[in-house]
Amino acid sequence: MTEGVAVPPAILELTREVDQARVDRYAVAARDPNPIHRETPEAYAGPFGRPAAHGMLVLGIVSDLMTRGFGQAWAETGGIKVRWRSPALTPVVVTVRAELKKHVEGTVTYDIVATEAGGETLLTGTATVRI
């Protein structure tokens, strides 16, 4: 964890594999048992043809990235705004990248994008934190 970041990093990046076992554990921990996220007939008959990871699980990777970059400042002042662009079909390797957009009066804003290994964009948005 980085405490008291004086000069914000220009780029932050984090890659994590999201397999079905992780999604199943997340479904319990986050109390979201929607069958489209699990190995169920509903998932295979659904719009994606197979299970899709919870979007909030992908967003959790973004939060982890910001935690690694800003530590306690993220916990105390973090803000995030995202739109999901496509489903993360399991198993999937997710890379989250944050690129510094602006640094004004102690608040930094990053453009956020999450992609899967094939290049498909899963999520875009911005994250802010006071440093």
How far apart, in whole angstroms, are the C-alpha atoms of residue 53 and residue 25? 11
The one segment of 4-12, 54-62, 98-106, 113-121 that binds other proteins by CB under 8 A: 54-62
Give the one residue of 20, 26, 91, 120 binding other proteins; rule: CB under 8 A.
Answer: 26
Please identify which residue in 5, 20, 40, 63 interacts with other proteins, judged by CB under 8 A: 63
Using DSSP's 3-state secondary structure scheme, residue 109 falls into strand
The token pair that represents 114 in the structure block: 């999450």
Q: Confirm or reject binding of residue 84 to other proteins (CB under 8 A).
A: yes
Residue position matching structure tokens 């990046």: 13
| ω into 87 cis (within 30 of 0) | no
Q: Applying CB under 8 A, which residues contact other proteins?
A: 1, 16, 22, 25-26, 28-32, 34, 47-48, 55-57, 59-64, 67, 71-72, 74-84
